[in-house]
Amino acid sequence: MLVESKLSELQDEVLRAPLDASRNEMLLLHGTKPEHLHDILFEGLDPHLSKEGLFGKGTYLAEDAAKIDQYLTQDPEWKGNKPEHELYNLHKKLYERGVKHATHVYYALVCRVALGDPFVTKDGKTCARTEKPIFVKGRKEALRHGRTSLVAELGGKIQRYREFVIFDPAALRIDFLAALKRVRHYCDCGQAAVRRTVTHGQPENFGREILFCGEKKCRFIHMLPQCYCGRAAGVGTKMNGEKYFRCGSKRDFCDFKRLCYKEVIRGRPDLHGVNKRLERAWAEQTGTYSVMHRSPAQLGEHRNWFLRKSIEVYEGRDLQDCGDWGNCSFFSIAVLRDPFSSGAVVATIEVLNKTNATQGVGHDYDILPPLVVWEDGDYSVKAFLIFIFDDDIAEPTKVLHLGLDATPQNMSVGSEIEVFIMDDKDGGTIAMTPSVARAREEFGTGECLIYADRQGGSSGATGLSLSHARCLEGGAPEAEQTTDFALIVQEHAEVSWQDGEIGPKCALLSLSFADYYSGAFRGWDRKPAFLLVIPDATREPDERVCLDVKLTENSTAALEQEQIHVVLLDVDIDAKLSLNCTRGADCLLDLSQTWFWEADRGSLQDAYANNYKCRPCEDAQNSSEAFNFTVDASRSVHLKYVLQDSWPGDKLLCWCIFQGSIHLASMELQGPSLKNAARCAKSWPSCAIHDLHGVGFQVDNDHLRVLRNCWDPEDTPTEVALGSLAVYDEHGEYKMRSFESMRQASPGIFELCWCRKTAATNCTDSVDFSVSAGSFVYTGPNSRSQLPPYQLGKAEPLIVSDVHGIDLTADDRAMILPSCGQLDPAGLNTTAAYDLETHSFNFGKISTDLGLLATTYKVCWCQPSADWGYACDTKLEFRAEIGSIDILCPYRQTDPDGDGICAPCPLMIQTAGGGAGAVCVVEGLRFVEALVMLAVSVLFSVACATGLRCSRTGGLVQGVPRLIEDVSQESGKLILTVVGHHNLSAFTKSSSIPVTLWHTGHFLLDSTPSKPKAFRVRPFGLNTMELLDAQGRSLEFRADTSMGLLRLSMPRALLHSVLRGVKLPLFLQMLLLAGLWVYLSFLLEPSWPELAGMLALVCLLALAIASLWRFLLRPLSSLTVRLERFAKELRERRPDPKPCKKGPDRAVAVRDVLELEEKFGAFIKDRNMYYIDPNILQHLTARHKLSYAELVGPQTVQWFVSHWWGTQYRVYCMTLQRHAKAVCETSDEAIWGATSYWICTFSNNQHQIKEELGSSHRESSFYLALHSGVCRGTCMILDEMAMPLKRSWCLFELLQTIHLEKTQANFRGLLFCTENGVLNFGASTVEMSMQIGERLSGLSLKDAEATTEKDKNMITELVLQEMDSFEKIDAVLREHISEALGICRDRVDDDFDALFRKLGTLKEHLAVKVRDDAVHVAV
């Protein structure tokens, strides 16, 4: 599995060699403590030295710095000048050649890790993918399958950061060491802290940096610097007036001290004048200097001083070419003049008496220049150069003690400095290689484990010695001397080098057992320390032996390591020795490879009983599972036959010592356990013992046999002894080779006896099987004699009683077969379960359907076993015989040929007769019953055909649909009339029946498969019903239709369908017929061919009735008959109607509109276009899928009709007739009847409405007809409510009419038509005119509605585009209607004048009219 680390993105920036993806390499972090860092850097990360953690004993790494930060501790300051300090060696290695300690640092390792194929875990025990254990059993230091790493993912024992654990040191390498500091940038509330400098307040804090919360969300204040214990450092004052930072606690919890020279200068007003000069002198120096300051009492004196108190230098560090002086190193010593002095000053360096170094070239040191001079006003920092010369002679540290002498004398202050000249290891260094050695927990071979290597200089003699020491905390556990190892250091044994000698020498030698036993090592010339490893068999973690390394007296070399480790790697000695014995056989154990010596006392103890730990030999002696022994001269143990009845398994070979014992080796006792239990059943095809408990079974060598007694096999039946012999095979089981011969034996309880084939034993005779392996139960029933006969088809069940045996259970099965244990013809399946209470098998009623013949059968037994895979579900598994039984022919069947095959009588009206019952004869009663059964079948099929139908919608089977004759409003009720009788009953007058209506053409009534609409009906006549809503309430809307179907669900059809005059539901009728049919079938027992013939005859009769109904007797509605008749007339007029383009060429003549009212007036009544379209027009045009105008003969448009579909069709016809007569100015029907009108109902193809409307209003048929150029004007059919003006499409037509009035000269504009005539021509009643005018006075066209929101928005946009606002189009409409009403008023006045003229009162009427007009004008 490839794992990606968060540090992978850094590899291109920091790595010289890229990561190897094939090895799953990645960069990871490891945090550690400073005191461990030196050993890790120079010895590596060793998982064996780690403590056992949450995920095993390995090296833990992480990809997040926040994770390793939990394990870091602080390295506060440099300790390279204190050899006794534990960080001395680390600091001497890290901080040299100009690298300075940064104080308060932490260390982390950047490692290159090769994960390979790691385990991924969440709980530290199992693999997250397979849930199998990841560690080798009993060891959390080794992974299974040889893997060396694991990844601890989030979600289990860890929740924040992933961890990586490495178990092989070769899988990781340290690439970098990172030194880091912890810097606080955030306050307690999580906001970024603000950094400022103190400028007011207490003077001693001036110049200090402070962190605080910038958002003022918390009271966080953090003044720098901080002391080690986390407090803000306080400011202290020395006796000489020098300021410094110290621990912020009054009790000084930590030893924090730091100079604060610059801060004190800023805080003292009397020193501000020399502030800049001192800061410049400070900047010219390198390092951290201890500066002497004067106290207030000394302000009147003038002093010069050194800027350092002491310096450590090495002879051979930073060597440079010093000309004639050869190689040397040099450094400067800074001298500072008193800033309050004046005049010229000369300072000379003086060598004091404490100096033991020699000055001069070629010796130890030299100083240049001899003096330094300050002119008056010069306050700069001066310096002396000190040269250090290198030699190759090892010598102790020398001290150069220097002082200052100045002129004039009052400038001398007595300032001193010590220079420590340290040797550069001319005597060399001694490196212990390796510092951590590894030795296996077994006898050594004489190899050197650890070498001492003198490197570098060779001046002087040196030597070292080793001694056993206690290990420091951490790492692997410590080994115990005398039980785990022995360290032998001879007298005066040491490793030494003479003057001028370098190179490696063996310091620790691994001692072999032979050399130790013989003592030969004592005479060797070389005198290293000897390590003797004592092997034992205890599995334990790796242990370590710690040795102190000490230099001999007067050694000139330096020692790099003061302690070395030897890790004792645990070895599975038991796997190496592989000691074993066999139960019942002679046993000789070779202990020469163990720590057992001649004459040693030992104890053989059971590992499991003692929890794999050796008990003291005295305690174990009283145990039955222990055996004490003494090792002979050949270092062997002869156990003979003492393990005959011992429990097999691991045995501990314990070395007896005083008051205890040590586990030195283990032995495996092979053989079967004493308490095994096995069983086999007589019915099983074979007997195999799969899970015999034991240890170390050998294939083809281990044998097993069933005997009555292992010590006395003579009493065992021959069939059992011979048939039960089994040999252990590669599948791990003992399978009996001749179990079939054993099947003849009686069941019983026996003993399992075991034998291993050796050179002395062949395991052929029963006496060879003397080792008991447990008990064996041979289960099965006892054999029976002949059973009583049984007749097939008999009412009583077949019961086999008195069945006894061994270990019979309720799961046992018995089967009737021709022979037991053989594969028989298919179809024979008669089984029974064993009844423990009655000791019998009940087969139930047996018939010929089970495949039995009239002959003799065997009753065979089988015992199922889920463990062995025997389910007793095949005839072959019934191998054990209980007894024999004779089967006889059933009732009405005979066996004339005597072959066991019973032949039934061919007809159900026949029965067995004759002298021997071998002849079939007709029985009168059965013949009558057969006729009645046929009649019942016919009646049942008729009931189903008349009450139920298959349906493709609303369910597979539904009630027979009722054809709707008419739906109309009568007396406030919606009355539904069906064709013929509805044959429905609600059983009470107040109850109703749930129904759905289909194909009515009315959107308020129609149901669809996706959206059914529930209604209820209440029958009150033979063919009439009241239509109600789903809750049984009267409907408030009006719905008119003369087509469609009324449907009931199958349950409702069965419940409410009745025969005429009989109030018995259909389901009761069918239930009675079905019950009678079942009863007759039970009596007659017809055969399948007879049933098939009867059903075929019934189906033919039902098909004939259905065909007669569908093609000859099916009723049709009156409207359907009238539509078919009129459609036939239309076909005779226009046998082949053709489609034409939508628009002006699809107008219809007014005579065709009136013809519909003439033909279908009885159905139309006071109904409107919502009835006409689905019930009449769509039926007439359905065949050709055309518009009605195309069907009857399309005309070129003369007038465009704008109307509301809700207007009564009768009004349509009367209005158009009056308009046609008015515009034609004739009463000749032949002339005005040819007037053509474009009416959307007749001119649009109602089967393709989407195509008629087009993609835009300019493509719609409405627009094309109006803008055709041949249209004379628009006829708006109005009623007293002006309903067309409430429709958006009528608004669209009005808008186009207004536009055409402006653009076409021959366009006559908008005509308002009513059933009384055309308003524009003055043909209307006063009442109608007043109602229309009153209605339009308060009407606004912006309230018009459309069927779809899309159409309304489109038309509204057009109105605003053409007219700018609805007020303008409202004004145009009122102007048109006012003009028309004015004409009507004039026409009425003319008519009244004519009437008054006839009455002879015209003058009086005119006078009154003039007077009234004058009064009206005056008002």
Residues with Cβ within 8 Å of residue 511, at least 6 apart in sequence: 444, 446, 488, 521, 530, 531, 532
Does residue 436 contact residue 565 with C-beta atoms inside 8 Å? yes
Q: What angle do CA 217, 218, 220 make, to 5 degrees?
A: 135
pLDDT at 1214 over 90: yes
**Residues 66, 1298: Cα–Cα separation, whole Å:** 82
- Note the pLDDT tens digit of each residue in 47-73: 877 888 888 899 999 998 888 888 888
Overall residue count recorded for the chain in this entry:
1419
CA dihedral 587, 590, 594, 598 (to 10 degrees): 100
pLDDT at 1100 over 90: no
The band of 301, judged by pLDDT with boundaries at 50, 70 and 90, is: very low
pLDDT at 640: 67
pLDDT at 915 over 70: no
Across 124-128, 182-186, 412-416, 1148-1152, the highest mean pLDDT is recorded for 1148-1152
Region 742-754 average pLDDT: 90
pLDDT at 196: 74
pTM, two decimal places: 0.42
pLDDT at 1254 over 90: no
Helix (H) or strand (E) holding 1221: helix 1209-1224
| Strand ranges (E), 323-460 | 327-337, 345-351, 365-368, 371-374, 382-389, 398-407, 416-422, 429-433, 436-440, 448-455
Does residue 1273 contact residue 1308 with C-beta atoms inside 8 Å? yes
What residues are paired with 705 via a beta bridge? Answer: 753
pLDDT at 303 over 50: no
DSSP 273: G
Region 1231-1259 average pLDDT: 90
**Residues 454, 1025: Cα–Cα separation, whole Å:** 122
| Strand ranges (E), 123-232 | 149-152, 163-166, 172-180, 193-197, 209-213, 221-223
- Note the pLDDT tens digit of each residue in 130-169: 888 899 876 788 888 888 999 999 888 888 889 999 998 8
pLDDT at 994 over 90: yes
**Residues 1369, 1292: Cα–Cα separation, whole Å:** 11
Does residue 774 contact residue 674 with C-beta atoms inside 8 Å? yes
- Note the pLDDT tens digit of each residue in 1155-1209: 999 999 888 888 999 899 999 999 999 999 999 999 999 999 999 999 988 899 9
pLDDT at 948: 81
Does residue 670 contact residue 658 with C-beta atoms inside 8 Å? no
**Residues 180, 1014: Cα–Cα separation, whole Å:** 81
pLDDT at 1 over 60: no
DSSP 1057: B
pLDDT at 94 over 70: yes
Region 717-733 average pLDDT: 91
What residues are paired with 605 via a beta bridge? Answer: 652
Region 863-883 average pLDDT: 87
Residues with Cβ within 8 Å of residue 1346, at least 6 apart in sequence: 1287, 1288, 1289, 1352, 1355
| Strand ranges (E), 943-1030 | 948-950, 957-959, 962-970, 973-978, 993-998, 1015-1019, 1024-1028
- Look up residue 779 and give its amino acid: T
pLDDT at 962: 87
pLDDT at 704: 94
pLDDT at 808: 92
Range with the poorest average pLDDT among 94-103, 535-544, 1173-1182: 94-103
pLDDT at 284: 36
**Residue 752 phi, psi dihedral angles, 5° rounding:** -85, 125
Provide the greatest CA pair distance for the chain: 177
- Closest to 919 (Cα-Cα) out of 906, 932, 937: 906
Region 656-662 average pLDDT: 82
**Residues 302, 299: Cα–Cα separation, whole Å:** 8
Three-state SS for 344? Answer: coil
Sign of CA dihedral 133, 137, 141, 144: negative
**Residues 247, 254: Cα–Cα separation, whole Å:** 6
Angle between helix 924-947 and helix 1088-1108 axes, rounded to 10 deg:
40
**Residue 234 phi, psi dihedral angles, 5° rounding:** -90, 170
Region 515-543 average pLDDT: 80
| Between residues 1118 and 946, the one the model is more confident about | 1118
Three-state SS for 394? Answer: coil
Residues with Cβ within 8 Å of residue 1171, at least 6 apart in sequence: 1040, 1041, 1042, 1164, 1209
- Look up residue 1112 and give its amino acid: L
Query: In whole numbers, what is the pLDDT of the chain averaged over residues?
Result: 82
Cβ-defined contacts of 126-131 (< 8 Å, 24+): 128/153
pLDDT at 294: 29
> What helix, strand, coil percent values describe the chain, rounded to 5?
25, 30, 45
Residues with Cβ within 8 Å of residue 132, at least 6 apart in sequence: 126, 144
Q: Give percent of the chain with pLDDT exceeding 70.
A: 87
Helix (H) or strand (E) holding 312: strand 310-314
- Note the pLDDT tens digit of each residue in 892-903: 787 777 777 888
**Residue 1286 phi, psi dihedral angles, 5° rounding:** -95, 0
Q: In what order do the strands lie in the sheet with 234-237?
A: 234-237, 243-246, 257-259
- Note the pLDDT tens digit of each residue in 964-974: 989 988 888 99
Q: In what order do the strands lie in the sheet with 485-488?
A: 485-488, 529-533, 503-510, 448-455, 429-433, 558-559
- Note the pLDDT tens digit of each residue in 2-28: 566 666 556 555 666 788 888 889 899
Region 93-115 average pLDDT: 85
- Closest to 348 (Cα-Cα) out of 301, 411, 288, 298: 411
Does residue 1375 contact residue 1301 with C-beta atoms inside 8 Å? no
**Residues 1203, 570: Cα–Cα separation, whole Å:** 107
**Residues 335, 347: Cα–Cα separation, whole Å:** 9
Range with the poorest average pLDDT among 240-254, 463-477, 1126-1140: 240-254
The Cβ of residue 211 has, within 10 Å, a number of other Cβ atoms equal to: 19
Residues with Cβ within 8 Å of residue 81, at least 6 apart in sequence: 312
Cβ-defined contacts of 942-950 (< 8 Å, 24+): 942/1102, 942/1105, 943/1066, 943/1069, 943/1070, 943/1073, 944/1070, 944/1102, 945/1102, 945/1105, 945/1106, 947/1053, 947/1054, 947/1057, 947/1066, 947/1070, 948/1050, 948/1053, 948/1054
The band of 319, judged by pLDDT with boundaries at 50, 70 and 90, is: low
pLDDT at 823 over 80: no
- Note the pLDDT tens digit of each residue in 249-289: 655 555 566 655 333 333 333 333 333 333 333 333 322 22
Buried (b) or exposed (e) across 1076-1112, using 16+ Cβ within 10 A?
bbeebbeebebeeebeeebeeebeebbeebeeeeeee
